[in-house]
Amino acid sequence: MPEDMAVLIAQAVEKAVQSLRDEITSLKEKTVALEATQATLSDNQLIQLRLTNDMKEAVKKNPQPMQKDRADILRALLVANGGKMLAKDIRKRMHIKKNHFAELLRVCDFIDTKPFHLDRRQTVIILKSELVLRD
């Protein structure tokens, strides 16, 4: 009888161990699948990031025709006012919405922006790389 008990216990232990082995194998397969999925997602994110950066550069480097015209007007206003003006004054004189004006400033490479020394909430636009004579 004790031998029968030992055999039953051994069979029960073997069955439990086999169940654990099957579960470990299943978990290893899931881990491999998740790692492959993660690698694919990482590659996709990298591709998306590169495409986004390429699109931003393309838009930044190639201003639209209307932006070119507005940039010329902006340059003329700055020259006429000694090379410096408050951003809000320029925007009002050009009759441009805030979001369009912000896009214009990103495209223009001939200006520099700094906070106004009397009121840091306001921005001064400065004409750079050109000699502007004062009257």
CATH class as words, domain 65-127: mainly alpha
Has residue 63 got a pLDDT over 80? no
pTM of model > 0.85: no
Q: What is the pLDDT of residues 6-20, one digit of tens each?
A: 888 888 888 888 988
Has residue 130 got a pLDDT over 60? no
CA–CA distances in Å: residue 44 to residues 38, 39, 49: 10, 9, 9
Q: What is the pLDDT of residues 77-110, one digit of tens each?
A: 999 998 899 999 999 999 999 999 998 998 888 8
Name which of 109, 104, 99, 101 is nearest 130 in CA terms.
109
Report the pLDDT averaged over residues 26-39: 93
